[in-house]
């Protein structure tokens, strides 16, 4: 993978400090990362692209 592709894939381009989006690899040992992943999956599930309903209570949401 080229450096340009690696930067594009990571969501950060050289010299682009103005972007409010930061992509990091989730460390699921950290409770705040666990919550963030669940929140993202729940948001997808509630969208029309998902099933347009919240995650099952089994996952701690809904």
- Distance from C-alpha of 32 to C-alpha of 6, rounded to nearest angstrom: 26
- Distance from C-alpha of 21 to C-alpha of 62, rounded to nearest angstrom: 27
- Distance from C-alpha of 42 to C-alpha of 54, rounded to nearest angstrom: 6
Domain boundaries, the chain: 3-59
Average pLDDT over residues 39-59: 87
Q: Can you give the pLDDT at residue 39?
A: 92
Contact 26, 37 (CB under 8 A): yes
DSSP string for 22-44:
------TTSHHHHHHHHHHHHHH
**Higher pLDDT among residues 5 and 32, named by residue:** 32
pTM: 0.56
């Amino acid at each position: 993978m080229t450096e340009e592709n690696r930067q594009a894939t990571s969501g950060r381009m050289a010299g682009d400090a103005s972007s409010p989006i930061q992509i990091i690899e989730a460390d699921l040992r950290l409770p705040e990362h666990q919550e963030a992943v669940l929140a993202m999956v729940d948001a997808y599930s509630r969208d029309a692209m998902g099933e347009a309903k919240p995650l099952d209570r089994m996952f701690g949401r809904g």
